Structure 1
């Protein structure tokens, strides 16, 4: 029983960490290129133009996770309007926690990766609100079929199909006369250029990994003991949903990189 719970908790912990390391790294690579092209083309005004929304969403991700995991927020700044030209820190959330609390220590992991969650959810929300007809084309249950037997081939097929749906939905001639489409593109560029995790974010996340594992192990042990396997299945399904949303957010980031690169090349 304990061995089964241990295997389950190790699997889920590695799955969670793997998902966020994978997407965190790719988002970081895309953001660096995006920021370079924007800064080379527009200078500090480009950082201001994208940072007001993007950095704010980034810091809101940290802030919400602090509140969820009961960390005390000492101070925060969603965007540094005064020093964005001269300082490397565009925003911050300062917080502290009770080191004796397993829950609060585990929260460090989610606080660290908070910007990826908030950024992706904001992308999806913007998509749904600004382009609802196109959003309905994303049938999440259809894409979940690919996740039943995930491997490199199905993962590649998943991304290809997601890209086809999103690309055909967005880059349609009917969108050219739609002001909401241009607002949506601006939001995507803003978020994708500020969604990645800093070195400090990764360090903070690593603090909570062991505590996260302990909580998952205890939860798995309870589920195994009382035969509550449905709860484990529901949790894994939520991770699959998160994986798909992160994949869609990644596609938006790649599309915004393409748009920024075209503007950079023209200038």
Structure 2
């Protein structure tokens, strides 16, 4: 009995190591998104949702669809953009999968969280061509994170300082003199306003997460977890956190801008 409890605890910890940061950031982005949208609607009315959704919602839904297809799912119905229905839904992807396939069941988790990474990569693509100096700095931060061997106080402070520097590079005076920067800012706000996960996304992701948990549990029963190096998990989490930080930074900026509009009104 004690052995099974230890296995369950270890599996829970490993599941958190692998997916916890993604889930945590996803929930935080949801809070930022809900507050930002509410502020924009208070200032500009219901049309604010459609303005940001014109770009943000199709990217959100296409992210679902692309990842679903990568995991062998069949897209049965897709709506890239519509007027918000009674539940506030502006788009959706309906897909089916083989419940007998472990690979396709795991795909539910990645399909559910896909809009976070789809939004991040879309913003990075814009950054690459509009403010390449910020993009290069971000890539340098990620490369440095791959060399981390110990997660200490100084390491965490270094990471925080790196992203603080990234914000300064993005919002440098030179960028405000670049007319294309305002295009980047507008599109990034649209994407950030719809980058978080809906309740349906979370529900779908949870189905895949439960399968990931069961696989890790079996790995621990077979005593294969020793091949998962703690060092690699540290680097993995720092790398994932680094990628997600772009979404956090721009979603936070979107929220702050929404507060400014409320103050102006």
Please say whether Structure 1 and Structure 2 have the same fold, judged by a TM-score greater than 0.5: yes
Helix, strand or coil for the counterpart of 2:60?
A: helix
1:41 corresponds to: 43
After superposition, the Cα gap between the structure-2 partners of 1:120 and 1:38, relative to the gap in structure 1 and judged at 3 Å, is: same
In the TM superposition, what is the alpha-carbon distance from 1:26 to its structure 2 partner?
0.6
Partner of 1:195: 195
Distance in 2 of aligned mates of 1:179 and 1:158: 32
- For structure 1, the residue ranges without an aligned partner over 5 or more in a row are none
* 2:151 corresponds to which of 143, 149, 173: 149
Give the aligned partner of residue 247 of structure 2.
249
SS in 2 for 1:115: helix
Q: Does the 8 Å contact 2:17/2:233 carry over to 1? A: no
Equivalent residues in 2 for 1:81-92, closer than 5 Å: 83-84=83-84, 88-92=88-92
Aligned partner of 1:264 in structure 2 is: 262
In 2, Cα distance between the equivalents of 1:46 and 1:159? 35
Are the equivalent residues in 2 in contact too, given 1:185–1:256 (CA < 8 A)? no
Superposed displacement of residue 125, structure 1: 2.0
Aligned residues: 260
User: Following TM superposition, by how much is the alpha carbon of 1:253 offset from its aligned partner in structure 2, in angstroms?
Assistant: 1.1
Residue 107 of structure 2 is aligned to residue 93 of structure 1: no
C-alpha displacement of 1:141: 2.5
Partner of 1:78: 80
CA deviations 1:36-86 (Å, max 9, x no partner) are: 111111112211211011111111121111111111100101111xx3476
Query: d(CA) in 1 for partners of 2:120 and 2:220?
Result: 28
Per-residue deviation, residues 170-228 of structure 1 (Å, max 9, x unmatched): 22221222122101111221111111111111111111123223445677899959x97
Aligned 8 A contact 1:30 1:253 in 2: yes
What residue number does 2:168 align with? 168
Residue equivalent to 1:115: 115
* Unmatched tracts of structure 2, length 5 or more: none
Question: In the TM superposition, what whole-angstrom CA distance separates every residue of 1:84-139 from its partner, at most 9, and x where no partner exists?
Answer: 47662100001111111111111111111111121122222222221112222222
Could you say which residue in structure 2 is the equivalent of 1:20?
A: 22
Deviation at 1:13, TM superposition (A): 2.2
| Partners of 2:145 and 2:238 within 8 A in 1 | no
Equivalent-residue separation in structure 1 for 2:85 and 2:264 (angstroms): 25
Partners of 2:151 and 2:234 within 8 A in 1: no
CA distance in 2, matches of 1:47, 1:113: 21
> C-alpha separation between the residues in 2 aligned to 1:32 and 1:10?
29
* Deviations, residues 207-254 of structure 1 (Å, cap 9, x unaligned): 1123223445677899959x9768x97676455322211023201111
1:158 to 1:239, Cα distance in 2 relative to 1, 3 A: same
Contact kept, 8 Å, 1:31 with 1:192, in 2: the verdict is yes
How far apart are 1:160 and its partner, in Å?
A: 3.1
SS state at 1:89 partner: coil
> What CA distance in whole angstroms lies between the structure 2 residues aligned with 1:123 and 1:158?
24
Deviation at residue 158 of structure 1 after TM alignment: 5.4
- Secondary structure of the residue aligned to 1:95 is strand
